[in-house]
Structure 1
């Protein structure tokens, strides 16, 4: 299903009223009395805090498929304890957005992106080269780009409004935002989910290098996993065999996410003004990697 509308304006959906659009998702609430919210994943792709053109073909459906699979695993299909999530059981999205939408509970969303890093790369690698730390957490000497960390680390970020940069913060700063008890719960949940997901990925020949989670409190005050989870947009996945055999960072970090987009944009844009349009080849390669990841994970 190619979704040209997903990268343009929000859809007119009977029974639902559009209330917000983020970088990738559109949010709707019932237009009459009703419970829940509708989250629709578009084909939009973002990098360096900008939404790019054109979108990635079928990306909304691919991300939703992967999120639903992971929600099921974390609900206990992997043998672990059930992690509460925001899906409304038995609810069906409108036909116009079938396959790329979820009906979810209304939550009191926490103002923190819960980032877990198991490997050194990206902005973490850039900081490590300067100070031998990642988000202020001291790490051993001698690590290189793509190395596995001695243990996964939790590096929260403050969720910025659309168009602004998310801000890496310390755990102590997250305590200042949500309180010690809630900050500790967010950290511990994030590390638990990462460990479970990384083990599942490893069994499929994949490395989950890092990821980010979002949580909200439900009507009963239960911390609930929300938004997307462990998708190609919110996570870095690498091919485990390539990582073991690779001699250079590029060879080691054969990616199944939007790194193709990031790399192309970094080489063709100085981060000033409007980003250039993505070439068709970059769009096609990115979509193919998204599909390949789903195939490897779900079989």
Structure 2
């Protein structure tokens, strides 16, 4: 959505679908952060690594996943057409990752294996759709004490059936660290000299991958092709949300992120940043939709090694798609080039492993590999048809 949208614009229909990591801080006026007192460079990070459990990104299970991923490269779910195979479904959106279908009373969200960054699809990653769907479901179940969500049922490993919602045209991006490589990442804008961003006053003297004094919100809205940063005042002035709506949703977003940081740290990970989407269901209830704390919507680092690597000026060990973003940024202009190079198979399989690693680390369960003998689209069509007939 463009920032020139009139205040009367209608929200589109869409859907999905306890102590905090830091002591809860009073939310500053207009979401600005006070500048922290100067401190020695070796005290710029939290003392978190000594408490975090050790995680191994290169264990024997990785080899098993690599072999499975290599065998599934030609069987990724890159496109869907349930409108042709499931009676009564209409295709209403083809997103970067999710395909959305509308039934009589519900929406059907199919999470594909497409991998996106820089506002375009980069590759297809084996098992990705299943991992994202199952990761989101786990977090939806774990966060109902913070906010209701739109999930109705999950009839297939790649599918969520959800309530129809009127969606707020704002993505709530929450950040705990100064990092990133895209044009809208906090480190990019900070390194370019920006100190007031989306209503937040950023302190001087920060370096890449440093922890912020407090978590901040940096909302975005849609332009034609890009996410556009927007301040709380602009959200209200443009009629994207009312003041009360923004206050409620921003509070929920910050609470979700603090809870996510807590759970992640308990399992040896740092939840660095994420995005949330919200809408109103048919009863008017503000509802969490889309996805939650997945490696697509979130950035995760290994907690145990973070502080040592930060102090040495090294990039954190990440469990997300940042390494694939960086590869494309090093080998092409991912925003400007019409045709991108093909992602190396080794990186594709590595990303498949990291998605599974994250799922297993957070949920403490083993990922169940899909049966590759049954075509994925046939399986999804059958399961969705059965589920809709029983709703």
- TM-score normalised by the chain length of structure 2: 0.69
CA distance, structure 2, for counterparts of residue 217 and residue 65 of structure 1: 23
Residue 279 of structure 2 aligns to a residue in which SS?
Answer: strand
Conserved? CA contact 1:133–1:139, under 8 Å: yes
TM-aligned CA deviation for residue 18 of structure 1: 2.1
Question: In the TM superposition, what is the alpha-carbon distance from 1:249 to its structure 2 partner?
Answer: 8.0
CA apart distance, 1:253: 2.1
Residues 186-241 of structure 1, C-alpha deviation per residue, up to 9 Å, x if partnerless?
21111111111111111111111100000110011111000011100000011011
Structure 2 partner of 1:275? 340
Aligned match of 1:6? 77
Q: Does 1:243 align with 2:306?
A: yes
Residues 239 and 5 (structure 1 numbering): CA distance in 2 closer, same or farther, change over 3 Å?
closer
Q: Secondary structure at the match of 2:116?
A: strand
Q: 2:91 is paired with a residue of what secondary structure?
A: strand
1:38 corresponds to 2:102: no
2:155 counterpart of 1:83: no
2:189 is matched with which residue: 127, 139, 142?
127
Residues 179 and 249 (structure 1), Cα distance of their counterparts in 2 relative to 1, 3 Å cut? farther
CA contact (8 A) 1:50 1:275 kept: no
Alignment of 1:251-270 (within 5 A): 251-270=314-333
Question: Displacement of 1:17 after TM fit?
Answer: 2.7
Helix, strand or coil at the partner of 2:326: helix
Q: Which has the larger radius of gyration?
A: 2
Structure 1 residues 267 and 92: alpha-carbon distance in aligned structure 2, compared to 1, 3 A threshold = closer
Which residue of structure 2 lines up, in the alignment, with residue 298 of structure 1?
363
Given that 2:175 and 2:218 are in contact with CA atoms closer than 8 Å, whether structure 1 keeps it comes out as yes
Equivalence for 1:78? none
Separation (CA, whole Å) in 1 of partners of 2:92 and 2:218: 30
1:222 corresponds to 2:285 = yes
Q: Any conservation in 1 of the 2:171–2:221 contact (CA below 8 Å)?
A: yes
Give the alignment partner of residue 351 of structure 2, picking from 262, 276, 286.
286
Deviations 1:140-178 (A, max 9, x none): 2221111111110011000345xx011011111112221
Query: SS where residue 238 of structure 1 aligns?
Result: strand
Do the aligned residues in 1 keep the contact of 2:198 with 2:232 (CA within 8 Å)? no
Which residue in 2 is equivalent to 1:100? 158
- Matched position secondary structure for 1:178: coil
Contact 2:146 2:255 in 1 (8 A): no
Does the aligned pair in 2 maintain the 1:124–1:135 contact within 8 Å? no
Instruction: Give the match's secondary structure for 1:85.
Output: coil
Check conservation: 2:94, 2:100, Cα contact below 8 A: yes
Which of 128, 131, 140 pairs up with 1:59? 128
> 1: CA distance between counterparts of 2:221 and 2:75?
32
Counterpart contact for 1:215–1:226, Cα < 8 Å: yes
Which of 13, 20, 41 is matched with 2:93 structurally?
20
**4+ long deviations beyond 6 Å:** none
Q: Which stretch shows the higher mean deviation, 263-272 or 231-240?
A: 263-272
Structure 1: segments with no counterpart, 5+ residues: 76-80
User: Is 1:112 matched up with 2:173?
Assistant: no
1:175 is the counterpart of 2:248 = no
Which is bigger in relative contact order (C-alpha 8 A, separation at least 6)?
2
| Alpha-carbon distance in structure 2 between the residues aligned to 1:147 and 1:239 | 14
SS at match of 2:149: coil
C-alpha separation in 2, matches of 1:298 and 1:183: 31
Instruction: Give the 3-state SS of the residue equivalent to 1:246 in structure 2.
Output: helix
Q: TM-score, normalised by structure 1?
A: 0.89
8 Å contact 1:115–1:155 — kept in the other structure?
A: yes
**Alpha-carbon distance in 2 for matches of 1:92, 1:156:** 29
Secondary structure at 1:264 match in 2? helix
Q: Distance in 2 between matches of 1:115 and 1:250?
A: 26
